[in-house]
């Protein structure tokens, strides 16, 4: 089992270096601090007691890359489906377009995708709330919404 004093020593000795690496990758002080703390928490939970500075830096680097990848995925999906679009016009989409979208959702999407689309766009759930309600990851919700929107766009543009 990990000795608490070993972890404390490693924390005091390497925290600043790990934090600087995290800042350089994620460009966010709060995220960098969380990543370094999560790395040490994983050491404690995993019972790892003898680690080198290289191991610690690689662990931080990998966590940073995962955070950046996750953020980029969310950002791309939000841009793609315009979840927070404020510049809508009054004459579009019209009622017929909404009816076509609802019909397409019911016909071409899987049952789970339909549920996620209904929760997000009809019931106003956030992606985080959907993930919690369905016991899936938030990333799965984003991916499902992205695929659903692409499928709907493809189907509607094919039908004119």
Taking only the tens place, the pLDDT of each residue in 1-41 is: 446 677 788 888 999 999 999 999 888 888 899 999 999 88
Query: Which pLDDT belongs to residue 17?
Result: 92
Q: What is the tally of structural domains in the chain?
A: 2
Q: How would DSSP label each residue in 120-146?
A: IIIS---HHHHHHHHTS-HHHHHHHHH
Query: Which pLDDT belongs to residue 74?
Result: 62
The whole-angstrom distance between residue 63's C-alpha and the CA centroid of its chain comes to 13
pLDDT tens digits, 38-57: 998 888 888 777 778 888 99
Do both 76 and 98 map to the same domain?
A: no
Do both 8 and 75 map to the same domain?
A: yes
89 assigned to some structural domain: no
Query: Which pLDDT belongs to residue 84?
Result: 44
Query: How many Cβ atoms sit within 10 Å of the Cβ of residue 21?
Result: 19
Do both 114 and 139 map to the same domain?
A: yes
Nearest to 148 by CA among 130, 133, 160: 130
- Which domain, by its residues, includes 34? 4-80
Do both 38 and 73 map to the same domain?
A: yes
Do both 52 and 119 map to the same domain?
A: no
pTM (whole model) above 0.85: no
Q: Are 11 and 56 in contact (CB under 8 A)?
A: no
Mean pLDDT across 140-156 = 86
Mean pLDDT of the chain: 80
Last residue in a domain, options 42, 58, 80 = 80
Last residue in a domain, options 20, 45, 80 = 80
Do both 19 and 76 map to the same domain?
A: yes
User: Cis before residue 93, ω within 30 degrees of 0?
Assistant: yes
Q: Are 59 and 123 in contact (CB under 8 A)?
A: no
Between the two ends of the chain, the Cα-to-Cα distance in Å is 64
């Amino acid at each position: 089992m990990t000795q608490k004093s070993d972890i404390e020593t490693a924390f005091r000795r390497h925290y600043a270096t790990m934090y600087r690496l995290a800042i350089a990758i994620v460009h966010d002080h709060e995220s960098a601090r969380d990543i370094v703390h999560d790395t040490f928490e994983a050491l404690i939970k995993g019972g790892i007691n003898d680690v080198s500075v290289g191991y610690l830096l690689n662990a931080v680097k990998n966590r940073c890359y995962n955070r950046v990848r996750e953020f980029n995925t969310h950002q791309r999906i939000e841009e793609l489906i315009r979840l927070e679009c404020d510049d809508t016009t009054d004459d579009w989409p019209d009622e017929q377009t909404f009816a076509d979208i609802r019909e397409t959702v019911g016909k071409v999407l899987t049952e789970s995708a339909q549920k996620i689309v209904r929760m997000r766009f009809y019931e106003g759930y956030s992606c985080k709330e959907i993930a919690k309600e369905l016991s899936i990851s938030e990333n799965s919700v984003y991916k499902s919404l992205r695929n659903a929107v692409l499928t709907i766009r493809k189907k509607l543009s094919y039908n004119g």
